Chains A and B, each alone.
Chain A
Amino acid sequence: MKVIKFFGLIIVALGVLYGGFNAGVYSYVYYKKFQQKRALKKFQEGIKKQEETERQKLMADTYGGKTPQKTLQMFIEAVEKGDYELASRYFILEKQEKELDDLKNAQKKDIKNVLNLLKQSLQYQGKYSQNENLYLIRKPILIEFIKYPSGIWKLTDI
């Protein structure tokens, strides 16, 4: 009887050991999955927040016209007045600083030439992209526009 009891206990103990082992493994796996889910959620929230900040930044930028041509017209007028600070603001946010530097360092003669080309380009019909968020004038110089979420058009490149 004692022998049966002993071996019985050994078998039960082995079963309990196996159960404990599985419980340990699954505890780690579930904890790890929980951690991954939490990290992913945090990451997604971070991206969402960043996107929202970016959107708000773009919405706050009101320099530009309701059409690409209007923006170009405003840009030309600002450059003609010598208000390079204002002219540079018609570019997308990332390019404003560089364009301001370029305008300040450019020679009057070159600016005049470019202005003439820009005025000519107002006569040409550009092309919208499929989703109508981009606009491109090819002649006589390449001018690219982008539509901001606020509905205004900004210069991307001249």
Chain B
Amino acid sequence: MANFLEQIFTRKVVLFLIIVFAVGFIIGLIGVYWLDMEKGLII
């Protein structure tokens, strides 16, 4: 099992997933900020 996971989650894949997470995080942050500021979404 450990070997299988090591095969799939290589350094490149992990780095890629971290970047994907960061991109999602930024999109969410900017998106909700825009909704709050421009559209007056009350949080």
Contacts and interface: CB of A to CB of B under 8 A. Distances in A.
Interface of A: 5, 8-9, 12-13, 16-25, 27-29, 32-33
Contact of A24 (B13, B16, B29, B36): B29
Interface string B8-43: 100001001100111111111111110010000001
B20 A23 contact: no
Given A16-B20, A23-B21, A27-B25, 17 more contacts: A5-B8, A9-B13, A9-B16, A12-B17, A17-B24, A20-B25, A21-B25, A21-B27, A21-B28, A24-B29, A24-B30, A24-B32, A25-B31, A25-B32, A27-B29, A29-B32, A33-B43
B17 A13 contact: yes
A23 to B, nearest CB: 5
B26 A24 contact: yes
Contacts, number: 67
Contacts of B27: 20-21, 24
A17 B29 contact: no
10 contacts: A9-B13, A18-B24, A20-B20, A20-B21, A20-B22, A21-B25, A24-B31, A25-B29, A25-B32, A32-B36
A146 to B, nearest CB: 41
Interface of B: 8, 13, 16-17, 20-33, 36, 43
Given A9-B13, A13-B16, A33-B43, A28 B24 contact: no
A18 B17 CA distance: 12
Contacts of A13: 16-17, 20
B33 A28 contact: yes
A17 B20 contact: yes
Contacts of A21: 24-25, 27-28, 31
